[in-house]
Amino acid sequence: MRPEDQLAAIARKFGPEAAREKLRLLVDLRADAPRGARRLTVLRDALGFMRAWPDDVRVKRAVDRVIEALPEEDAIIYSYSYGVVRRLAQLHAGQIDIAWDELEDEGPLTATLQLLVAPGEQQGLDDMELSLQEWFARCRGAQSDLEFFLGLLARSAFTLRTQDHLYDRCEIPLHFDGPDPLRVERAVSRLHGRRRDFDRTRFPVLPEIQKPLTSVARGGQAEVDLALDALSSRCIEIYPLIQASAQDVIVADADGGLQFVLAGVHPQFRSALESLYFFLVLQNGVPIGYGPIGAFAGYSEVGINLFPEFRGGEIRKIYAQFMRVLHHVLGIECFYLTRYAMGENNPDSIATGAFWFYRGLGFKPTNPDVEQLARAEEARMAARPGHRSDRKMLHALSHTEAVLDLSQGRCLPLALGALGVAESRWIAEHFAGDRVRAEQTCARRFGRLLGIEADSRALIALAPICAMIPGIERWSARDLAALARIVRAKDAPSEAQAIRLFDRHRRLMQALRALA
């Protein structure tokens, strides 16, 4: 067996003998690194896992030395979103530019440029003797092609949201010689070495969720940049990170070197009700997983995407600690899963038996037929040890959402989609579909009622929804003051407090559920 295969086979084993064998293999691999894409992939995956879960400091240092000796990865060709590109161009100046050979259709980019340049310049864009790349070369000065285009957008009269739309419709492939995922990490004050194999036995999840956190601190741009490097180097994008705000970053320490970074979105991209967050999972400072959450009024969807090289670790512990963080940081009392997460139209979840994993964590189906089916299957498992659900059964079990509810039914998910449709109908009926007039009229009305300036971004978003609530002007001063605190929290640099304030406003939540 080749050394990299031996390392991969022992990477997830721990103890004195395993540590000694890892050190021996790492010394050999540093002296003679494998060649060939497949062999390097095996080695890189093993090294990545061992960076996150090293036996001790010696193993961690040996892993780092092998990584330093590896050949550099090839540059990436990928069409990143505007929010990501703007930051990558600052973080990695000179390492990212337009990949002209990969641009399939210049039409959208040319049309966008027509909106950004002076009227006289537009004739130059129509010059058939110049290719678009040549036009850039003559017009950009000392900047790169990408920097020139980003500068045109940033200095335009368009809002950030419109700039975002104009850039993304161009679908520009970029040549990115970015960071190696193996070298992306957050400095830690203490390395948590592992002495024993992972514990696969089940444990009660509720006590873990309720246990106070070790540490919660404010983060900033450094954590957002870390997440951007971790995902962009793997050609992954996810919405809350694309529009992440450095003013709304929280870093929470759990147990055994596990950390979670939560990053909210820029105020211009916030939703009217739920709060959107990106999260990054770190083990010993190494990014191992990520995902989005939409949190509102005490509930949140949960779902963790582990990077492939980190699968086979402590996934049950990671989920429990993630819910612990959401509970203490954002006040989440009800965790829910979509049908897709349970396996509906999701072959990966079916293949991994996701239904039973989540049931083992304590999630319960919201579909009573599925709950009855699950209990019957559990009876078969008890009667016949070794029985496993086949694919047909897993498909049948997937037709449900699932919840782990600590709120005794108070924080169950609100049908936000149905509420959005109700708002659309209301604007059509009361303002003939004129959304600008609806927002301005309702913002002035509720601004006076709540004592908030009518140009508040959160008020403009929330006011039409509030206007749909019958008799809201006759609410008590206490209820109206609580509503005003919600609006101000949605306008704050961090909207984390808004999640709790929505949950505490029982009258508002009752009204929203009636509308939905």
pLDDT confidence of residue 9:
95
pLDDT of amino acid 72: 84
Here the tokens at position 480 are 């109206």
- Closest by CA to 245, choosing from 500, 493, 496, is 493
Q: DSSP character for 432?
A: T
Classify residue 284 as left (phi > 0), alpha (psi -120 to 50) or beta: left
Q: Which residues of 33-50 are buried (b: 16+ CB within 10 A; e: fewer)?
A: bbeeeeebebbbbbbbbb
- For residues 397 and 373, the answer to whether their CB atoms sit within 8 Å is yes
From CA 82, how far away is CA 167, in angstroms rounded?
Answer: 6
Q: If residue 265 lies in a helix (H) or strand (E), which one and from where to where?
A: strand 258-265
Using DSSP's 3-state secondary structure scheme, residue 392 falls into: helix
If phi > 0 it is left, if psi is from -120 to 50 it is alpha, else beta; for residue 237 that is beta
Cα–Cα distance measured from residue 435 to residue 465, given in angstroms and rounded to the nearest whole number = 12
Q: Cα–Cα distances in Å, from 68 out to 62, 214, 225, 280, 342? A: 10, 33, 22, 25, 41
Q: How many of the other CB atoms lie within 10 Å of CB of 178?
A: 22
Tokens describing residue 512: 């929203």
| Dist. CA 263–CA 261, nearest whole Å | 7
Residue 429, pLDDT score: 95
Q: CA 206 from chain center: how many Å?
A: 24
- Residue 463 and residue 444: Cα distance in Å, rounded? 9
* Dist. CA 50–CA 48, nearest whole Å: 5
Question: How, if at all, do strands 96-98 and 174-176 pair?
Answer: antiparallel
Give 316-331 as a 3 state SS string.
HHHHHHHHHHHHHHHC
Strand pairing of 244-253 and 215-218?
A: antiparallel
Extract the tokens encoding 186. Answer: 């957050």
Give dist(CA 98, CA 140) in Å, integer.
13
Report the C-alpha gap between 29 and 17 in whole angstroms.
18
For residues 65-101, b (16+ Cβ closer than 10 Å) or e, as one string?
ebbeebeebeebebbbbbbbbbbbbebbeeebbbbbe
First-to-last alpha carbon distance for the chain, in angstroms, is 61
- What is the predicted pLDDT for the residue at 120? 84
Euclidean distance between CA atoms 468 and 466, whole angstroms = 5
User: Which pLDDT score is estimated for 242?
Assistant: 95
**What is the DSSP code (8-state) at residue 212?**
P
Do 298 and 410 meet the contact criterion of CB atoms below 8 Å apart? Answer: yes
Q: Which residues of 342-357 are buried (b: 16+ CB within 10 A; e: fewer)?
A: bbbebeebbeebbbbe
Q: Tokens in use for 234?
A: 């793997």
Sheet holding 76-78, edge to edge: 76-78, 174-176, 96-98
- CA-nearest of 347, 438, 427 to 395 is 347
Residues 161, 122: contact at Cβ < 8 Å?
no
* 3-class DSSP assignment, residue 291: strand
What the block records as the tokens of 500 is 């709790």
DSSP per position, 189-211: SS-----S----S---HHHHHHS
Determine the 3-state secondary structure of 514 from DSSP: helix
Distance between CA atoms of 228 and 231, rounded to whole angstroms?
A: 5
In the prediction, which pLDDT does 453 show?
94
The encoded tokens of residue 413 equal: 């998910």
Residue type present at position 338: T
pLDDT at 214: 87
pLDDT tens digit at each of 516 positions of the chain: 899 999 999 999 999 999 999 999 999 998 888 888 899 999 999 999 999 999 999 999 999 999 999 988 889 999 999 999 999 999 999 999 999 999 999 999 999 999 999 888 888 888 777 889 999 999 998 999 999 999 999 999 999 999 999 999 999 999 999 999 999 999 999 999 999 999 888 888 999 999 999 899 999 999 999 999 999 999 999 999 999 999 999 999 998 999 999 999 999 899 999 999 999 999 999 999 999 999 999 999 999 999 999 988 889 999 999 999 999 999 999 999 999 999 999 998 999 899 999 999 999 999 999 999 999 999 999 999 889 999 999 999 999 999 999 999 899 899 999 999 999 999 999 999 999 999 999 999 999 999 999 999 999 999 999 999 999 999 999 999 999 999 999 999 999 999 999 999 999 999 999 999
d(CA 309, CA 317) in angstroms, rounded, equals 17
Contact in structure between 291 and 305 (CB atoms under 8 Å): yes
pLDDT at 386: 86
CB 320 within 8 A of CB 284: no
